[in-house]
Structure 1
Amino acid sequence: MTEQRADYDNPWKEALSLYFQPFMAFFFPEINGNINWSRGYEFLDKEFQQVVRDAEIGLREADKLVKVWRGDGAEVWVLIHIEIQSQAASDFAERMYVYNYRIFDMYRRSVVSLAVLADNQDSWRPNQYQNGLWGCEVNFLFPAVKLLDYQGRSESLTDNNPFAVIVAAHLTTQQTNQDPDQRYQGKLRIAKSLYQRGYSRQDILELFRLIDWMMSLPESIESQFKQEIMSFEEDLKMPYVTSFERLARQEGRSEGISEGILQGSRENVIEVLEVRFEMLPSDLIEKINQIEDLELLKTLHRQGITIGSLDEFQELLERSS
């Protein structure tokens, strides 16, 4: 059996950007209850890039640094550092400690480090880093959740938290890495469930895009999946997933790379930048819309999800042109 490629980290990064408050409510409800959400929150992606460069330890996966306000009566802001770790790593607890103290050193504010252990090894559950010599000791504890513990719970149709869907997609992808037919069935089940959870049209589009990204299928059955979803939408009279409908129509018009596919890829780049940085300069949109290289557009889309700032993206675009 052929192992199916899976991209976990990038969908998780974007899911965190889109649904940070639901993330906290789903995985860390006690902390969620102590945040003053009325004050808003701020992602510090560019600043965290500097922390990571200074630390020079381990392999970065999906991570975020977020500024929030305490909701327990203390009118102060604090920092939440999040790591999504999709594979077991012997230095993970040390990395959590190093990032924590480097963030504190940069801001001199309380830092809460949180871990989501998204690997497939049930026995690997780090939540502590210890080191000491001659009476000088470090004992760093951090809250950690294990995705495997959500097996069978995350797909409940009564749970409309977006991370019920993300976790279900992640676990199903892990379980079917050598069984494309089972992944097809799992992906179809999760995609159809989006219409039964009471989500808005926009949330259905966003979550469909994330699970489609994570749960890649062989080309031989990908078109079958798309046809099944289109038929399902027609029955419900809810034509939401228009992005691949458009691409499917365009693919039938050309043996090569059609203008429809290119334009869809351009729109994907612009969309992810607007989600992360809101208003985009008109000249940047124009430059993206002039790109004719499909592989470059795919690269820019991936970079747009994780890059620290819009200025960095513009510099990347200039270098790539």
Structure 2
Amino acid sequence: MAKQQPERGTDEAFLQLMTVSGSSVLKLLGVAPEKADNYHFRAVALKEKRFEPDVEGIPILESDDSKEAPVFVEFQGYKDPFIRYRLAASVFHGCAKRKYKSRVIAGIIYTAQEYQDAALSLSTVTPIQKYQNLTNFFKEIVLTDYKEKELRATDPKLIVLAPFTLDTETEKAALLKKSQKWRNAVKRVFPTHQRREALDILGLFILNRFRQLEYEEVRAMLDFDLMDTVAGRQVYDMGHQKGHQNGHKSGLEIGLETGLQKGLQKGHQDGWLEKAREDVLEVLYERFEIIPDEIIDEISAIELRGVLKQLHRQAIRCADIDSFNEILLRTVE
């Protein structure tokens, strides 16, 4: 039976997340925060996978006496009845190959409930009682079971998984507002050298979760060009190829052409507005570090460049964030 391929893959984005902030994902799997940072991660190249997990976490101070358990993680964004079998095989194969003598942590992160429901239980092939309950062997997470605030409470960097907390039929206007909040949160919690990768991950998850969206719409939501990244180009190529197979231009290609046409008329104006918003927020982050979400929302909703220029000056001059908020509220009344 051929392995089902998702329309817009999540594997690349999840692997990228693990390399950027694998400790955040470990916390989601129940690993104690003080231990989660004690790992480095090896992403397995997809074309080379046999009995290998998507990501393998190895204790940084690896030794025979290491108290940290090796970690094997699979990310599942489509129906695969044998995902548990594959993870079990990869755990046993990995332990034998590297002579691991400690306990292991094995986890599967599903992007939707239907994908967990499709996974066969190990008890299907063995009557052994200890396999009837996987609680002590696999830690399974279904992202759609979480609320955004639960992810952020586990680790603020898990904001990149927030798209999976929304219904797939969420209206575009509401999704746009949410995406802008996610974008701003990413810029708050990730250091400067990781923000681009984090936005890339967020954008790919939005494309995966909301199949009705076109590439150009996500680009507008995040003010970030996914085509500048390897994973983004892979998503584009998937859509391009599928479009030709169906005998018409892919939605991604149409989105790009439409974006170019609209860019001649509106792109500069939108770019100026977004740059003006970013300038205000950048000053506030630099001066006060923590910016309340309501202030970010208000600034993100302003459509007048002159108002944003005035707020930029006030952000530089104001005594504290409360003073700025008072000025902001008077400005948008």
Give TM class, smaller chain.
Answer: 0.5 to 0.7
Q: Is the 8 A contact 2:13 2:201 kept in 1?
A: yes
Match of 1:214 among 199, 205, 224: 205
Matches within 5 A, 1:116-135: 116-121=109-114, 124=117, 129-130=122-123
Alignment partner, residue 226 of structure 2: none
Alignment pair present for 1:230 and 2:275: yes
Q: Is the 8 A contact 1:93 1:129 kept in 2?
A: yes
TM-score relative to the length of structure 1: 0.54
Structure with a larger share of its residues in strand: 1
- State the alpha-carbon separation in 1 of the partners of residues 129 and 17 from structure 2: 37
Offset, 1:15: 0.5
- State the alpha-carbon separation in 1 of the partners of residues 147 and 191 from structure 2: 26
Offset, 1:233: 0.2
Match of 1:184 among 172, 176, 182: 176
Alignment partner, residue 16 of structure 1: 18
Alignment partner, residue 43 of structure 1: 42
Alignment pair present for 1:170 and 2:164: yes
> 2:73 is matched by which residue type in structure 1?
I
- State the alpha-carbon separation in 2 of the partners of residues 183 and 208 from structure 1: 16
TM-score relative to the length of structure 2: 0.52
Structure with a larger share of its residues in helix: 2
C-alpha distance 44-232 of structure 1, shift in aligned 2 (>3 A):
closer
C-alpha distance 132-97 of structure 1, shift in aligned 2 (>3 A):
same
Alignment partner, residue 147 of structure 2: 151
Alignment partner, residue 93 of structure 2: 102
1:209-229 residue CA offsets vs partner (Å, 9 max, x unmatched): 221233244366456433464
- State the alpha-carbon separation in 2 of the partners of residues 159 and 137 from structure 1: 33
- State the alpha-carbon separation in 2 of the partners of residues 168 and 145 from structure 1: 14
Match of 1:193 among 178, 182, 185: 185
Alignment partner, residue 65 of structure 1: 56
Q: Is the 8 A contact 1:192 1:229 kept in 2?
A: no
Offset, 1:142: 1.0
* Percentage of matched positions with identical amino acids: 9
- State the alpha-carbon separation in 1 of the partners of residues 205 and 155 from structure 2: 19
1:17-55 residue CA offsets vs partner (Å, 9 max, x unmatched): 11112221233234x545672xx5352636x976x32x4
Give the unaligned 5+ runs of structure 1: 241-321
SS in 2 for 1:16: helix
> 1:9 is matched by which residue type in structure 2?
D
Aligned residues: 218
Give the unaligned 5+ runs of structure 2: 1-6, 208-212, 224-269, 286-333
SS in 2 for 1:41: strand
- State the alpha-carbon separation in 1 of the partners of residues 54 and 72 from structure 2: 7
> 1:107 is matched by which residue type in structure 2?
R
Alignment partner, residue 249 of structure 2: none
> 1:19 is matched by which residue type in structure 2?
S
- State the alpha-carbon separation in 2 of the partners of residues 28 and 6 from structure 1: 28
Structure number with greater CO (CA < 8 Å, separation at least 6) is: 1
1:86-140 residue CA offsets vs partner (Å, 9 max, x unmatched): 123222222222222222232231443211121243973969522566x777726
Alignment partner, residue 90 of structure 1: 81
SS in 2 for 1:65: strand
